[in-house]
Amino acid sequence: MRRTRAVTILGAGPAGLATAVWALRAGMEPRVFEAQGSVGGNARTFQVGRFRYDSGAHRLHAASAPVMALLRELCAGALHTVDAPSQIRWRDRSLGFPPALLDAWRALGPRRGLRAARDLLAARMCGKRPGEEASFEAQARYRYGHSLARMLLLDYSEKLWGLPAAQLSARVAGGRLRGFDVRGVLHELLGRRPTHLEGRFLYPRGGFGQLCTRMAEALGPERITLDAPVQRVFHQQGSLRAIQVGGRELAVERVVSTLPLPALLRCLQPSPPAEILRLASGLRFRNLRLLALFLARPRVGPCASLYFPERELPFTRVVEPKNRCPSLAPPDQTALVVELPCWPEDALWRASEQELCARVVPLLAERGLLRPEELCGSRAHSLSHAYPVLELSTPATLARLGSWLRGLCKLHLVGRNAGFEYGHVHDWLEQSRLLVQNWR
């Protein structure tokens, strides 16, 4: 069988760029088309004066040996290990993240702690273990008990995903429900905390966007076309024929899409059946507003990330970039990057930078994270398609869409938005490697 040489890649985020790098190293010729004017997608590093910060709390963890070798080569000595805790801020209390049972009970105090312990025992002794298909709410209540589930997970998740927890798949937890049980308490009493993906991770010294910049450099500018939104993907008798970019029609042989899955299906020509388009339209993404606050103080605290589960707060997470790498802010200044999830139709999505500051700064001041007089600047950003919303109905929808898409030969989906799944950047680097490996 003749090996495919040309590979057309839609999107220059981490998954698309990694696919192109692996393809180039396998002797193929990748072409990458990106709608924006820069690479990185939702994994970029912004720069404002002497401040740099990422478009999210991105981090890397040990992956397969080939992926780790690629990361070290691309970052050329700039990949370092960060050992910074993450915390949950609940009212005026601080807990480790992900939370451990004893930490949570101590934060609750004797009265609330006793009620939480009673709820947990009742959930375990009287409740039936939920199956894998059960909702996030059912899984959280079984593992945490009613009180702790509401305090630590349910309110936070409903704020992040914009839906009742009873409608969410347990996969939105990203594995963080593991270890929070009676066995976990015994481990804590013996001085062994559960392992998780927070606290210790790998990070490029110049900001997370450096990873995408280095991949783009390895490919060369001749293989990447920016400001090139894909308008149509033409197919005929089960095979891809061409794509339309900027009014031009370009022949293709093999296509890798990192586009949001509903967007890809809308681009297909001829159009998919009405049922497929209807199912795709039901897949929703959560948008994100980022508000960077620049402060005239050396540092706010030691944490890489702070999580805020209280429903009355509009933000879910606050990141201090300087705790990922000191060079991301001047020595006598620091920044806080506030994440505010929203739907495209929400007023928050349309709010100006001044409106966001007026809403957020007093709340952070009340919680002791800044003093308004320290604020020396700000910058707001809008990130669409930040999180695929995994509902209970999502697996069945994806199975039906996947079954139809498999009828299109040499079309491949890679990454969070294309696969409509929750994961980390190192997962997509490995996914792209295995994809290219299977073409040989």
**The pLDDT value given to residue 152:** 79
Beta carbons within 8 Å of 321's beta carbon, 6+ residues apart: 51, 52, 53, 54, 207, 328, 329, 335, 337
**The pLDDT value given to residue 186:** 38
Q: What is the DSSP string of 72-139?
A: HHHHTT-EEEEE--EEEEETTEEEESS--HHHHHHHHHHHHHHHHHHHHHHHHHHSPPPPTTSBHHHH
Q: What is the mean pLDDT of the chain?
A: 89
Coil, helix or strand at residue 64: coil
Pair 158, 131 in one domain: yes
**The pLDDT value given to residue 308:** 95
State pLDDT tens for residues 314-358: 999 999 999 999 999 999 999 999 999 999 999 999 999 999 999
Q: What per-residue string of b and e applies to 260-295 under the rule 16 or more CB within 10 Å gives b?
A: bbbbbbbbbbeebeeebeebbeebbbbbbbbbbbbb
CA distance 252 to 268: 14
Report the CATH number at residue 236.
Answer: 3.50.50.60
For residue 270, say if its preceding peptide bond is cis, omega within 30 degrees of 0: yes
Residue 43 identity? A
**Closest of 5, 21, 24 to residue 13, by C-alpha:** 21
Report the CATH number at residue 301.
Answer: 3.90.660.20
Whether the pLDDT of residue 96 is over 90: the answer is: no
Q: Does 228 reside within a domain?
A: yes
Pair 221, 349 in one domain: no
State pLDDT tens for residues 55-75: 999 988 888 899 999 999 999
Whether the pLDDT of residue 192 is over 50: the answer is: no
**Closest of 292, 293, 286, 390 to residue 341, by C-alpha:** 286
Beta carbons within 8 Å of 1's beta carbon, 6+ residues apart: none
Pair 292, 279 in one domain: no
Q: Does 430 reside within a domain?
A: yes
Whether the pLDDT of residue 138 is over 80: the answer is: yes
User: If you average pLDDT over residues 122-135, what whole number do you get?
Assistant: 74
Determine the distance from the C-alpha atom of residue 208 to the mean position of all C-alpha atoms in its chain, rounded to a whole number. 13
Tokens of 157: 């998740």
Identify the residue with better confidence: 215 or 123: 215
**The pLDDT value given to residue 101:** 65
Whether the pLDDT of residue 130 is over 60: the answer is: yes
User: How many Cβ atoms sit within 10 Å of the Cβ of residue 362?
Assistant: 12
Residues facing residue 9 across a β-bridge = 32, 256
State pLDDT tens for residues 418-432: 999 988 899 999 999
Span of 96-105, 180-189, 228-237 with lowest mean pLDDT: 180-189
- DSSP run (H or E) holding 222: none
Pair 397, 383 in one domain: no
State pLDDT tens for residues 367-393: 999 999 999 999 999 999 999 999 999
Domain limits at 335? 284-388
Q: Which of 156, 189, 222 is at the close of a domain?
A: 189
Residues facing residue 268 across a β-bridge = 233
Q: Does 198 reside within a domain?
A: no
CA distance 397 to 400: 5
Q: Does 195 reside within a domain?
A: no
Whether the pLDDT of residue 10 is over 80: the answer is: yes
User: If you average pLDDT over residues 296-310, what whole number do you get?
Assistant: 95
Pair 179, 145 in one domain: yes
Identify the residue with better confidence: 92 or 416: 416
pTM listed for this prediction: 0.90
End-to-end CA distance of the chain: give it in Å, rounded: 10
Whether the pLDDT of residue 403 is over 90: the answer is: yes
Tokens of 308: 């805020």
CA distance 427 to 273: 32
**The pLDDT value given to residue 151:** 81
Q: Does 288 reside within a domain?
A: yes
Identify the residue with better confidence: 119 or 267: 267
Whether the pLDDT of residue 139 is over 50: the answer is: yes
In contact, 226 and 36? CB cutoff 8 Å: yes
As for how many domains the chain has, the answer is 3
Pair 265, 319 in one domain: no
Residues facing residue 87 across a β-bridge = 96, 306
Q: What is the DSSP string of 264-275?
A: HHHHEESPPPHH
Whether the pLDDT of residue 190 is over 60: the answer is: no
Q: Which of 189, 215, 233 is at the close of a domain?
A: 189
Pair 382, 288 in one domain: yes
Pair 279, 412 in one domain: yes
Q: Which of 189, 216, 231 is at the close of a domain?
A: 189
Enter the DSSP assignment of 305. E
Pair 127, 246 in one domain: no
**The pLDDT value given to residue 99:** 64
**Closest of 414, 412, 284, 273 to residue 344, by C-alpha:** 284
Q: Does 194 reside within a domain?
A: no
Residues facing residue 380 across a β-bridge = 291
